[in-house]
Structures are given as structure tokens and as C-alpha cells.
Amino acid sequence: MEPAAPGAIVTLKDVAAASGVSISTASRALDERTTSRSAAAAHVRKIAEELGYRRNSFASSLRRGETRTLGVLVPRLSDTVMALMFEAMERAASARGYFAMVASSGDDPDDERRAAETLLDRNVDGLILATARLDDDLPKLLRQRGVAHALVLRTDGVSPSALGDDETGGYLAVRHLIDLGHRDIAVITGPGFTSTGTARLNGARKALQEAGIEPRQEWLIAAGYGIENGYTAGEALLTHDPRTRPTAIFAANDNIAMGIMAAAHRHGVTIPDDLALVGYNDTPLSARLPTPLSSVHVPLDQIAATAVDLIVNPGTEPHIRRAMPTLIPRQSSGKPKHFSN
């Protein structure tokens, strides 16, 4: 069968006529959501390919009251984890026939609200928020308005959410340091308004409590998630006499850990000989640093796929789903000096 002339538009009616079926039958055969395996449907798809037919998914979605588009809201795309999460979200959405559209908020509640409204004005079929704060009203407003949405990486404990088990992750990181022989352990956690920061700190506290270690309050530091936050925290912890500073630090993300590495280098503190260090998220750079960073791996592809499913298949249980993290030990975490053989 000859394909259409260059520039000519092949319609569904053309495909149906060439296939010898009705327009509705041709439409069903070409619907990517419910692709039939029958011989008749395969014949229609073959004819469509030969003719050069391109399905107008946008028009089809509008007829169904859908745009097959998901709005994804992140604090900032300059954050490695958020950029990786959006890429994972794009893959997960595409696999289900959706397009992902991103906006950023800078972790500011007012900007988050405006960005969400902008995405909704574009008739997205649902919102996926990586911006949820424990003091944030947006998820509650979305529930009240009946807007399809899911929270990702963070949760408010109520809205559908896909995230890592942050409490378990914090526990694994500090338990690893304790098992190496450390007792003078500092924890640099994320902002208190995030479920990630709170849960990772809770997990760290649990591990310390199990080992009978009472943490020094000045060694439990709430910081932002940027490299500069880690550097500032490192400056506060590593300028003291070696006998009165921690021998190990759990940093609640890899950016914080890299900032601590920079501060350690400035003060002549060697990792891991003088200071053991564990990060979180296992970003690609962590394994390629001059001193490879021990880190807690979080399965972003699994979390992204779960978030999309919570939108596409609303009402499924459980509506808050936590993926299990894994500790990846590397060179940055070693025994304290007095435990060396």
C-alpha cells in the first residue's frame, strides 16, 4: 500500500476505509491505552503504519476530558535529587502514555501555590508535588477541591504519597557508624518543615537510643539541603579540639555531606581517618568523589512509578507507600582511630 503523499494528512477515516472496518473499530485498534492483540486490530495498525497515520493524542484526550499531562512541582531543579526525580517521573509518565510538565517553587509556599495554579490552568490531569511541607496547606486545599494529586519524596501523612522509608534510612546510616565503633556521632538533618528531615532524624535517634548513646544536642543540627548548608555545619563541628569533636557524621543528603567534606579539607580533617561520613540519596557523584561517599540509596524510579500510579489509579491502597532504602558503604566511613587494628 502506498503511503500518503508528503504533507498530506492521513485521517482515521482513511485508515478505516483502507482496512475495511468502521471508524470506531479503527479507533479502538489504534488506542494506545487498550491496545488489542486480535488479528483484526493488528491488521488495522499495519495499514495505519503503511499509510503514515499519526494519531492525534491531544484531540483524543480532549474528547475524553483529559490532556494526558501531569504537572510536577519541585523545589528547584538545580538540586540533583529533584532533577533525577523529575527524569524518573518523565520515564514513568511516558510508560503510561502521559507527558510530565515541571515547575519549581524554591521551597516557598506562596510560589508553590502560584505554580500549582499555573499547572492547573493548563488542564493537567493531576499534580505530583515534591514540595510538601509539614506546615503547608496546599495538599489539604487540593483534597478539598477534589484535584487528583500525589506527594513524592515528602508527605504530609494524609494525601496520597510515594516516598522512601526515611526513618529506616536514617536508622541504617547511624547503625552503620555505630557498628564501626563510633559513639561520638553528629547528625546534620534537613529542614524541620520537611517530612524527610524529621523522619531521618527520628531514625538516627532510634539507632543511637538502641546503642545506649545519648546524643549531644549541639551535634544535632537542622540545616538546608544544599552544599553550602553542609559546609556551614561542618565549620561549626570541625573547628574544635579533635578530642571534643565528633568522630562520625550522618548527613541527611549527599549535598550536605559534600559540604562537610569541603569544610573537613579546609581544617585538615581527613576522611575517613579522622572523620567517618555517611550521606543520603546515593546520587551519581557520591561514588565518584575523591573519597567515595557511603550513602543511603533510594529507589527513585520505583518511587516515581508509584507516584504516577497514585494519579492514574486513584483510590488504591495503601495510599501512602514507602520504598525501602539500602545502605551503600564506601570509603568515607571507617572505624574510629582507637578501633584500628
Question: Whole-angstrom Cα distance, residue 88 to residue 257?
Answer: 23
Judging by beta carbons within 10 Å of its beta carbon (0-12, 13-18, 19+), is residue 13 exposed, middle or buried?
exposed
- Round the average pLDDT of the chain to a whole number and report it: 88
- To 5 degrees, how large is the angle CA 86–CA 88–CA 89? 60
Which grid coordinates belong to 136?
Answer: 503547608
Does the global pTM surpass 0.85? no
pLDDT at 150: 96
Helix/strand/coil for 54: coil
Question: Whole-angstrom Cα distance, residue 340 to residue 114?
Answer: 55
pLDDT at 166: 97
pLDDT at 309: 94
pLDDT at 84 over 90: yes
pLDDT at 80 over 80: yes
Q: Which of 60-74, 80-94, 159-173 has the lowest mean pLDDT?
A: 60-74
pLDDT at 117 over 80: yes
Band of pLDDT at residue 339, cut at 50, 70 and 90: very low
Q: pLDDT digits over 150-164, tens only?
A: 999 999 999 999 999
Q: Give the amino acid at 182.
A: H
pLDDT at 289: 96
Pairing type for strands 185-189 and 248-251 reads parallel
Band of pLDDT at residue 63, cut at 50, 70 and 90: very low
Band of pLDDT at residue 341, cut at 50, 70 and 90: very low
Pairing type for strands 326-328 and 294-297 reads antiparallel
pLDDT at 90 over 90: yes
Band of pLDDT at residue 55, cut at 50, 70 and 90: low
Question: Whole-angstrom Cα distance, residue 251 to residue 201?
Answer: 10
282-309 mean pLDDT: 96
pLDDT at 62 over 50: no
pLDDT at 4: 53
Question: Whole-angstrom Cα distance, residue 45 to residue 334?
Answer: 60
pLDDT at 338 over 70: no
pLDDT at 244 over 90: no
DSSP 284: G
Got the DSSP string for 217-268?
GGGEEE--SSHHHHHHHHHHHHSS-GGGS-SEEEESSHHHHHHHHHHHHHTT
Judging by beta carbons within 10 Å of its beta carbon (0-12, 13-18, 19+), is residue 211 exposed, middle or buried?
middle
CB 134 within 8 Å of CB 198: yes
Return the bridge partners of 275, or none: none
10-33 mean pLDDT: 83
CB 85 within 8 Å of CB 153: yes
CB 254 within 8 Å of CB 285: yes
pLDDT at 1: 59
Return the bridge partners of 101, or none: 71
Question: How large a percentage of the chain has pLDDT more than 90?
Answer: 61
Judging by beta carbons within 10 Å of its beta carbon (0-12, 13-18, 19+), is residue 235 exposed, middle or buried?
middle
318: cis peptide before it, omega within 30°? yes
Compare 314 and 144 and report the one with higher pLDDT: 144
CB 213 within 8 Å of CB 243: no
Band of pLDDT at residue 27, cut at 50, 70 and 90: confident
pLDDT at 33: 57
Q: Give the amino acid at 42.
A: A
pLDDT at 179 over 90: yes
pLDDT at 52: 76
pLDDT at 291: 96
Which grid coordinates belong to 35?
Answer: 491496545
In the sheet that holds 326-328, the strands lie side by side as 220-222, 185-189, 248-251, 276-281, 294-297, 326-328
234-260 mean pLDDT: 92
